[in-house]
Chains A and B, each alone.
Chain A
Amino acid sequence: MSEPQKSKNELKQVVDVFLSKASSSGEVSQKKEPTKSLNKSQLVSFVSPFREEETLIFNLLFSSFLSQYYEQTYFVTSQPLSRDIEMVESLFKNSEYDWVYRNEKKQKLINNFYWLDISEETYPEGSHEIDNQKKQMHSMAMPGSLIALDPFRNENMGIEQLIKVLDKLVLVVQPLAYELESAYKIIKSCQYVNQELEVFIIFDAVMTDDDVEKVFSRFSEIVSQYLVVSLRCIGAVSTKMEKIGISSNAISKLNWDVLFKSQVAKQKIKVGSLDQIRFLNKLESTFVKV
């Protein structure tokens, strides 16, 4: 079996286990009281350097877990390839949530978790206008929604536009120098476009808290030396089931609170925010009431 296929199977197992446990424990079906005030829509992307294919799975895996904290969660892609559809169908195949892609805009995956296809939508170009009223609309547009964008499956939005609308970027990296170096390049390149972007790290590995602290501290030291960016660590979880038998418990033990807390919310609104508002408004018009 080739490495990518093996990896895909491992991740499939991860999702299966997660979904079955979540289902049996009612973690997904019963929305938890949010630990923090999540009344503001959040646009987030989970990205893994060197593993573009797996970003789809990471975005699905983590955002489906996080859906319990939000009113609605959307996994957004445009023009999904047949292999993407097959992958998602395969991931959800063995769960009790039977799901088939029907070439519709919005597909319910599980409970309040949806896959939204925005292929036919167009998005306005960026603007330098600062408009506080529209900023308020941003927070009103879809209160309590989490929107997960897979950047590698939304490139038709335009790369700059895509990065501009993001609130949070979560980099899923192994604690290896070359992965961290690539993560740094991603952070640096995104900074050119969206200076308000908050960046988070999830180490994809079995690590002690002490090791997580050491590696993250060392990495953030370099980042802070050259860049001005909000960088925080969510923790470590191995996505390879073979190693530790990952479960929803492992994911839930990550320090998600750091993702919910915004460090830049009180900062002065910048260019990207208006684009976010436009994006959200446009996105909102594509939503169908459930």
Chain B
Amino acid sequence: MKIQFVKSLGTDVEQLKPIAKSVIEEIYPNYTFQDIPSWLSKEEITWILQKEGSLIFVCLWKPAYELDVLLPLLEFKVKWQHLVIGLEQSNETRLVIVGERISAGLIQTCSSIEDKIEIFELTLSQKEDRVLVEECLKKNLDSALEQDIHNQNTQEYEEVAPLNQPVERESQQHENVSADESSIKASDISLTSFFYKMGRLTESELASFMELESDLHQMNL
């Protein structure tokens, strides 16, 4: 089996990284875990995605309301956009996002590559549960690796176009953000992804559920 890299890109993922690493090494010996260092240039990131057909595993532990603050920050935004551009140009690459309350803002930035994305949510309490985290990783990696192997078996390698149009991306992403809900095609995604993509929360909905969380805590069920 061709050796692939499983990357981790995140903002606050120290809790998950060692677990992810050990699970991947244990379950998928032909795959190696490698973090994408923050200092890599966009060319290096896209080179990795294009030439190695990498499987990307993104861990975003930040709750949505924090992510929405975080997304506009230049460093994160640039890195994320490079990832999106790389994914757009790589047929073999799939992205698995694991995080807490995947935000509408984050999903919207990915709309151009949503058919390559699997999303799984974990909550704060769940991420402390190593067994659950392992199960989540295995489940998502199984799905992504299955696709990865399928791609290897059925698709001939296609040379990707050179990356020379990053300037266009900013405006394109704005268009994607304003895209209508109906632009999401249910036929091409899994039911779980459909639920999370179509059911994504608005800011006010999210606020309501944060209140609900507080109320339930007070009920002490």
Contact = CB atoms under 8 A, between A and B. Distances in A.
A207 B219 CA distance: 12
Interface in A181-234: 181-182, 184-189, 192-193, 205, 207, 211, 214-215, 218-219, 222, 225-226
Given A158-B186, A178-B123, A185-B201, A222 B209 contact: yes
Nearest to A154: B191
Interface string A143-159: 00000000110010011
A15 B165 CA distance: 58
A180 B209 contact: yes
Contacts of B198: 185, 188-189, 192
B219 A215 contact: yes
A175 to B, nearest CB: 5
Contact of B194 (A3, A159, A177, A222): A159
Interface in B6-21: none
B208 A182 contact: no
Contacts of B128: none
A159 B212 contact: no
Interface string A49-62: 10010000000000
B187 to A, nearest CB: 6
A184 B209 contact: yes
B189 interface: yes
Given A2-B131, A151-B191, A182 B221 contact: no
Nearest to A176: B216
User: Which of A159, A186, A187 has the most C-beta atoms of chain B within 10 angstroms of its own C-beta?
Assistant: A159
A181 B191 contact: no
B219 A159 contact: no
Interface in A1-54: 2-4, 49, 52
A52 to B, nearest CB: 7
Contacts of A185: 195-196, 198-201
Interface residues of A, number: 37
B219 A214 contact: yes
Interface in B74-125: 101, 121, 123, 125
B97 to A, nearest CB: 15
Contacts of B219: 211, 214-215
A4 B135 contact: yes
A222 B210 CA distance: 11
A226 B205 CA distance: 8
B216 A215 contact: yes
A185 B197 CA distance: 9
A193 B184 CA distance: 12
A151 B132 CA distance: 23
A274 B23 CA distance: 47
A51 to B, nearest CB: 11
B221 A160 contact: no
| Interface pairs A-B: 3 shortest CB-CB | A185-B199, A189-B198, A177-B213
Interface of A: 2-4, 49, 52, 151-152, 155, 158-160, 162, 175-178, 180-182, 184-189, 192-193, 205, 207, 211, 214-215, 218-219, 222, 225-226
Interface of B: 101, 121, 123, 125-126, 129, 131-132, 135, 181-182, 186-187, 189-192, 194-202, 204-205, 208-209, 212-213, 215-216, 219, 221
24 contacts: A2-B135, A3-B129, A3-B131, A49-B195, A152-B191, A155-B191, A160-B186, A177-B209, A177-B213, A177-B216, A178-B123, A180-B212, A181-B201, A184-B201, A184-B205, A184-B209, A186-B199, A188-B199, A189-B196, A189-B197, A192-B181, A192-B182, A215-B216, A219-B212
Given A215-B219, A226-B202, 16 more contacts: A3-B132, A152-B191, A158-B186, A159-B186, A180-B212, A184-B199, A184-B201, A184-B205, A185-B198, A185-B201, A188-B198, A189-B197, A218-B216, A219-B212, A222-B205, A226-B204
